[in-house]
Amino acid sequence: MTVIIVTGRGGAGKTTMTSNLSTYFAQKGYGVLAIDGDLYLPNLGFHFALENVKYTVHSVIKDPNIDPEWAIYKHPQTGVYVMPGSANLQDVLGISAKRLRDIVEQMKYKFGLVFVDSPTGIPFDTLPTFEVADYQLIIVEIERSPIYSFEVMVENEVEKLKALGDEYGLKVGVILNKVRESQDVVNKIIDVLETEVGVSVLGAIPFDESVPESVNVGIPILVYKPKSDAAISLKESGELVREWMFEEVR
Ligand SMILES: Nc1ncnc2c1ncn2[C@@H]1O[C@H](COP(=O)(O)OP(=O)(O)O)[C@@H](O)[C@H]1O
Ligand SMILES: [Mg+2]
């Protein structure tokens, strides 16, 4: 019943966060569907070892005779239901982002939570889907750089992406990823985001070599290496996202 769109810059960790937050909620007993909304460069399937499947979000978009359910695969290790994309160029051409919106709307009534992974930058593929969404998560990769360039980064990505969510009335949160900075620096960044930009920061995931490893084996790190630093932070982040989503509106 709830749709969460994951957005952010290229390589920030959108797909990693989509697969792991989906896993977190599946472990908590929610019926979770993760849909690849990066229609041009889909790779959510890799995170769940679902590369060469017959039906994909692309086939559902292209052919109205294909039941969306056929393109949904239950990932055995996590229990997440996944609708992967097709990497085949022929499938990617002439695809309609509006149809993705309709599919998400249809699936919204069958799953407790639907995560939609977005393309990089302005998320053209998932923008129509914002209409049927409830939440937007912006994944931010902090660079090891002086604090003033952080402000530029905030203006460039967080504010622009948040403006999209605001336009559609979504509740917008931020997760910091690939964090290598000291707690001190991270706290300052969180403070700016929360007080000046007005978004909730729902976690800071450390840079961890086990993350790409987990993608290689096709099992989100929460299950693949639950004791790794990234997995421990991801779990805390999942908890924050859960509280944030379901907190009472007062
Ligand atoms: N916390 C992390 N620590 C180390 N590597 C990470 C982390 N999060 C993501 N990565 C790696 O960064 C790369 C990009 O992540 P991905 O989720 O595909 O980003 P996006 O979907 O935003 O383009 C992948 O190789 C992934 O394994
Ligand atoms: Mg991605």
List the chain domain ranges. Answer: 2-246
Provide the CATH number for the domain formed by 2-246 in this structure. Answer: 3.40.50.300
- Return phi, psi of residue 117, to 5°: -80, 140
d(CA 23, CA 18): 8
pTM above 0.75, yes or no: yes
Once rounded to an integer, what is the mean pLDDT over residues 82-107? 93
d(CA 133, CA 63): 24
Per-residue confidence (pLDDT) for residue 154, from 0 to 100: 79
d(CA 83, CA 58): 10
* Residue range 7-39, pLDDT digits in tens: 999 999 999 999 999 999 999 999 999 999 999
Q: Quick check: 186 pLDDT over 80?
A: yes
Residue whose CA is at the smallest distance from ligand 1 atom 5:
211
Q: Tell me how far CA of residue 161 lies from CA of 24, 71, 137, 153, 236, in angstroms.
A: 24, 29, 9, 12, 24
Q: Quick check: 248 pLDDT over 70?
A: no
- The pick from 22, 126, 179, 211 for probing ligand 1's pocket by mutation, whose C-beta has the most ligand atoms within 8 angstroms, reads 211
Nearest ligand for residue 11 CA? 1
Residue 144 binned pLDDT confidence (cut-offs 50, 70, 90): low
CA 215 to ligand 1 center in whole angstroms: 9
Ligand 1 near 215 CB (within 6 A): yes
d(CA 214, CA 217): 5
